[in-house]
Amino acid sequence: MWTDVEDWGTPAASGRRDDPWTPDLEAFVAGLPKAELHVHLEGALRPTTLLDLAHRNGSEFAGLDERWLAERFRFRDFRHFADLYTTCTDVFRGPEDFARAVIELAADLAPQGVVHAEVTCSAITHHRDRGIPFDEVVDGLWAGAEAARRDSGVVVRFVLDHVRDLSTEDCQRTAEWCVRGRDRGVVALGLGGFEPGRPASLFSGAIRWARDRGVPFVPHAGEAVGAEGVRDALAFDPVRLGHGFRAADERGLVAELTRRGTVLEICPTSNLRTGVVADLADHPARRLRTAGVPLVLGSDDPLLFGSSTLGEYRTAATGLGFLPADLVAAARTSLLASLVDDGERSRMVAAHDAYVARWAGAVAVGPAPHSGGQRAPG
Ligand SMILES: [Zn+2]
């Protein structure tokens, strides 16, 4: 057990009796080797880069400033968020824009202890809205990933997501791009966009086509609809689910997630900002954690939400009741759930374990009080 870790940062040590996020804990978690598995490239642009690209590429943001952005990104509801997101994708034009976004994101993630990132990119949106060829998107992403590894030490891989509002033909196109893009860092097919009325099963042909060719499926599900969204997505045997917390509405489904070892990517700040969760005190992640469902933490869209990977760990500690041992477990789970080969996964997990042992003085590495088992991605 993590007794050494659990003993850290007691209220007495921090001087603030009610704040579990002590300076010691923050320093530890900032350096804790982890993967960021739920972040969108378009929603992770630096504000200055969004405005710069808008200016150079002639989008509707041209000439506006960061203050205007802050005003604009005051959400009304989930639909409003989806609309804003589409507007954000509008600033991308050529491969150099995608490369720049990847390089800057990796530079932002590195100081947060992120060693591996699986970044979602909506290539289909760029193609449909502005006619950017797939190869230009993925060449830019890959150039960015290579520079990011060299400059920041962060390994960046990509999830190409289908946007639910679009057609089944577009989903099939994205599935084919995932297969073609595997030589340039594409590791999975995702599914995003406005969830109500557009379940994963609507796109079953393309999802199965990709899976038959070895491309895993990592959809958003059970975020803006109830447990039925999770159950629907589970039919495709995803190794991870984006959000997925509405599974907590159905006891049998929680047990099934635990049994399967399906990892849920929890993004508490995003959930609050989009309004799908009203209060962290009621966030279903609390129940899912105690039920032993494997959880990881993700920033989703830092540009839109003011979130960060490290910030989500802080929020989990201060708002979701995560103990330090749970934070360690979330980071370790993120590495185990990464879509990398077994050798790379073992190397990352060993570095994580060595870091924890060095900080905590722990000899044996064991599970957090509530952590469930997660299966290795297939
Ligand atoms: Zn997301």
**Cα diameter, the chain:** 59
Instruction: Compute, in angstroms, the gap from residue 265 CA to the centroid of ligand 1.
Output: 9
Average pLDDT over residues 144-161: 98
Q: What is the pLDDT of residue 363?
A: 34
- Predicted pLDDT at 78: 67
Nearest residue to 190 (alpha-carbon basis) of 127, 118, 258, 129: 118
Confidence of residue 238 (pLDDT cuts 50, 70, 90): very high
pLDDT at 58 over 80: no
CA distance 97 to 329: 35
Distance in Å, CA 366 to ligand 1 centroid: 30
pLDDT for 57: 85
Q: Which pLDDT band, with edges at 50, 70 and 90, does 81 fall under?
A: confident
- When comparing pLDDT for 246 and 60, which is higher? 246
Q: What DSSP string runs through 23-43?
A: HHHHHHHHHS-EEEEEEESGG
| All domains of the chain in start order, with CATH | 3-360 (3.20.20.140)
How does pLDDT run across 93-131, given as a tens digit for each residue? 999 999 999 999 999 999 999 999 999 999 999 999 999
Give the sheet arrangement for strand 217-221, strand by strand: 34-40, 114-121, 155-163, 186-192, 217-221, 240-243, 263-266, 295-297
pLDDT given at position 47? 87
Residue 73 has pLDDT above 80, yes or no: no
pLDDT of residue 193: 87
Q: What are the pLDDT digits (tens) for 4-56?
A: 444 444 433 444 557 889 998 999 999 999 999 999 999 999 988 988 898 88
- Tell me how far the alpha carbon of residue 4 lies from the centroid of ligand 1, in angstroms: 34
Mean pLDDT over the full length of the chain: 88
How many A from CA of 297 to the centre of ligand 1? 12
pLDDT of residue 14: 42
pLDDT recorded at residue 367:
46
Cα 43 to ligand 1 centroid, rounded to whole Å = 9
Instruction: Calculate how far, in angstroms, residue 192's C-alpha sits from the geometric centre of ligand 1.
Output: 7
Ligand 1 centroid to Cα of residue 63, in Å, is 28
Burial of 87 by CB count in 10 Å (0-12 exposed, 13-18 middle, 19+ buried)? Answer: middle
pLDDT class of 66 with cuts at 50, 70, 90 = confident
pLDDT digit string (tens) for 302-342? 988 889 999 999 999 999 999 999 999 999 999 999 999 99
pLDDT in tens, 178-190: 999 999 999 999 9
Residue 373's pLDDT is 53
Residue 312 a catalytic site member: no
Helix-strand-coil split of the chain, %, nearest 5: 55, 15, 30
Q: Which of 42, 104, 118, 223 is catalytic?
A: 223
pLDDT number for residue 374:
56
pLDDT of residue 274: 85
Q: Calculate how far, in angstroms, residue 165's C-alpha sits from the geometric centre of ligand 1.
A: 15
Distance 223 CA to ligand 1 centre (A): 9
